Chain A
């Protein structure tokens, strides 16, 4: 067992817990299959030049909030057309993302998660790349890039 399966992210006085164990377990079982089906290997949505740990501390909460909402609203629901096995793993990840988003919502989002220019700019970069692709391929790519997002979460204080 990992030392602690919960990764705690501090955004000012607000602390949210991400169950990395459950998310990794879910993603670990579909990662290969998802990444193998991605045909646009030259495109990267979660580019390292606008990664979460490199975001200014005051913009980090908002950017993270955007990323969660992006995956919940645009990615996971496009990935439910696969096998029952795949569908259940995506559900595991999605419901755990939702838990984090709910925790973040419980914090006073106005004071905890103010959205500065940088956060908005970074999110728009990801979204514009995503929208340039067809929705199915884009969702598949974003799902396959979940390991990048998990690494970002790991590296964020």
Chain B
């Protein structure tokens, strides 16, 4: 049905186009620009359906003043069916840009429809950034929305109830979680942020403040008390075991039971050693005397009597 309608429309319009009446130009061309992302949008030529293709071109102040008023096609937005075009990549300087769109149907093209007034990226709407404030133990952390390399963030934070003492931190890389402060136990801290774009020297408003409470130190100790106790008991036991084992080892190396030979005890002159007759026989010289059995018996009887 839709196809029939389209072919009817095309059929009825074609003679008009051929006879010199041009394809109507796109209308309501505007720019939606938020946080340095820029989109050109226009109203579709609804009567002609999806067969219509659009093409977009831009012109910076340089092209107007130095390059013979030339226009540069945006490759990604040439012959598209969509009625919007991401022009962020080409609006790359803070100068007034002009943009234009035209429609094409088959070999027919409309005249160029130009933006009503020039666009300068300095007019982009800067939205307060989204942030996620967290308390990790006693650390106050903030996670910031990633908006691209042109953005910096000014983060303000304070302890609730001490609003006169506000701290500031400039964050340039929003890819990471930022540590702001080590909080006092149980206290509540609030954070808000604004974006700053150096290239256009403009800032967004501040976001709504978000507050978090630091962990109570009591709760902290209650949670970890059993762990600390067990660790303490285990440590005492290990120390005791080590001390006992060390004593055992030292007993033989430092204080042996065996007495020193008398010769080693002498500290007098070497002459003394020569005259010394204390040890007539070396312990190792002691020989074993084997007693004959009858003699042994005699000793035994002698002893018994």
**Interface residues in A1-25 (C-beta closer than 8 Å to B):** 1-6, 19, 21-22, 25
Q: Is the CB of A98 within 8 A of B149?
A: no
A77 to B66, CA, bound (A): 7
Q: Is the CB of B90 within 8 A of A88?
A: yes
Q: Is the CB of B149 within 8 A of A72?
A: no
Q: Is the CB of B67 within 8 A of A98?
A: no
Q: Is the CB of A80 within 8 A of B67?
A: yes
Judge if B61 is at the interface, Cβ distance under 8 Å: yes
Judge if B22 is at the interface, Cβ distance under 8 Å: no
Q: Is the CB of A91 within 8 A of B62?
A: yes
Q: Which 10 A-B pairs have the closest CB atoms?
A: A95-B93, A1-B149, A95-B60, A94-B62, A92-B92, A96-B93, A95-B62, A77-B67, A84-B75, A98-B62
- CB-defined contacts of B68 to chain A, threshold 8 Å: 77
- CB-defined contacts of B61 to chain A, threshold 8 Å: 95, 98
- CB-defined contacts of A19 to chain B, threshold 8 Å: 93-94, 199
From residue B111, how far is it (CB to closest CB) to chain A in Å? 22
From residue B237, how far is it (CB to closest CB) to chain A in Å? 55
> What are some 7 contacts across the A-B interface (CB < 8 A)?
A22-B92, A22-B199, A88-B72, A88-B75, A94-B62, A95-B92, A102-B95
Judge if A87 is at the interface, Cβ distance under 8 Å: yes
Q: Which residue of B lies closest to A83 (CB)?
A: B75
Q: Is the CB of B62 within 8 A of A3?
A: no
Judge if A64 is at the interface, Cβ distance under 8 Å: no
Q: Is the CB of B199 within 8 A of A85?
A: no
Q: Is the interface of B mostly helix, strand, loop or mixed?
A: loop
**Interface residues in A71-101 (C-beta closer than 8 Å to B):** 72-73, 76-77, 80, 84-85, 87-88, 91-92, 94-99
A88 to B74, CA, bound (A): 8
Q: Is the CB of B65 within 8 A of A98?
A: yes
Q: Is the CB of A72 within 8 A of B66?
A: yes
A33 to B62, CA, bound (A): 23
Given A95-B61, A98-B95, 15 new contacts (CB under 8 A):
A1-B172, A2-B149, A3-B172, A6-B198, A21-B149, A22-B92, A77-B67, A88-B74, A91-B90, A92-B90, A94-B62, A95-B60, A96-B92, A98-B93, A99-B93
A80 to B199, CA, bound (A): 26
- In this complex, the member of B70, B90, B94, B150 whose beta carbon has the largest number of chain A beta carbons within 10 angstroms is B94
**Interface residues in B119-147 (C-beta closer than 8 Å to A):** none
Partner of B63, one of A73, A85, A91: A91
